[in-house]
């Protein structure tokens, strides 16, 4: 089945270029385009969508708010920030809103294709420039607390592998445990740390020295 992609950007020429590039991939179907956040929500409400490529600086409703509202309605949709903004505040706000990936407009092309493939596998994908931005922000904001007192050794191991972009099936294979066991560990980690998605788990792992990777390991 093709990945159904919706493009949200207020620049029509950029949307056209993006659509032309994506439609060269046999595994991708562009199902619509939106010029602002409100239009995006309207289209997504009546069109099956797997992935949204979301600009931030759009009129009427920006991409951060649109992401928050979209995922509040349909959390199964994956959002990739595709923006000229690489500032840490924009990036972190987009991830907090629930985006699964972030690629700068200067690094679209193959980077965006990698991001789409990654988020469809429930992975987080940050292009190199954004990964560096996120890592820098987490280092600057580190409180120096260790994760060890809060989660067990096996949970710490699972958290590291999740943050490095491994799926539950891959983690189960690497640790020689059942898939269901990994899922239980993931739920326990998220409950104990009050974290709600892979992006938050990744940020926590970096901040606490559990991993140095801000990407999906690719």
Torsion of CA 99, 207, 204, 184, to 10 degrees: 140
Residue 148: per-residue pLDDT:
40
Cα-trace Rg, the chain: 17
CATH code: domain 3-138 is 3.40.50.2300
Q: Where are the domains of the chain?
A: 3-138, 143-207
Identify each DSSP E strand in the chain by its residue range: 3-8, 28-34, 51-54, 78-83, 101-104, 125-126
pLDDT at 136 over 60: yes
pLDDT tens-digit series, residues 151-162: 777 888 899 899
Q: What is the three-class DSSP state of 88? A: helix
Are 3-138 and 143-207 in the same CATH fold? no
Q: Whole-prediction pTM value?
A: 0.64
CA-to-CA distance for 101 and 34, rounded, in angstroms?
19
Residue 141: per-residue pLDDT:
60
Q: What is the fold, at CATH topology level, of the domain defined by 143-207?
A: Arc Repressor Mutant, subunit A (1.10.10)
Question: What does DSSP assign to residue 105?
Answer: G
Higher-confidence position of 139 and 73: 73
């Amino acid at each position: 089945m093709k990945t159904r992609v919706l493009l949200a950007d207020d620049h029509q020429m950029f949307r056209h270029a993006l659509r032309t590039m994506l439609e060269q991939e046999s595994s991708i179907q562009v199902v619509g385009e939106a010029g602002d956040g409100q239009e995006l929500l309207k289209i997504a409400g009546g069109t099956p969508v797997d992935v949204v490529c979301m600009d931030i600086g759009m009129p009427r409703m920006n991409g951060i708010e649109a992401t928050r509202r979209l995922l509040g309605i349909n959390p199964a949709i994956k959002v990739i920030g595709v923006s000229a903004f690489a500032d840490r505040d924009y990036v972190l706000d987009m991830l907090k809103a629930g985006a699964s990936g972030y690629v700068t407009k200067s690094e679209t092309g193959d980077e965006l294709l990698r991001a789409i493939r990654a988020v469809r596998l429930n992975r987080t994908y940050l292009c190199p420039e954004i990964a560096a931005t996120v890592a820098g922000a987490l280092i600057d904001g580190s409180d120096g607390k260790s994760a060890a007192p809060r989660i067990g050794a096996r949970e710490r191991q699972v958290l590291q592998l999740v943050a490095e972009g491994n799926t539950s099936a891959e983690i189960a294979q690497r640790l020689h445990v059942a898939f269901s066991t990994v899922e239980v560990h993931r739920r326990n980690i998220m409950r104990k740390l009050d974290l709600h998605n892979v992006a938050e788990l990744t940020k926590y792992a970096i901040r606490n020295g559990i991993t140095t990777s801000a990407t999906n390991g690719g």
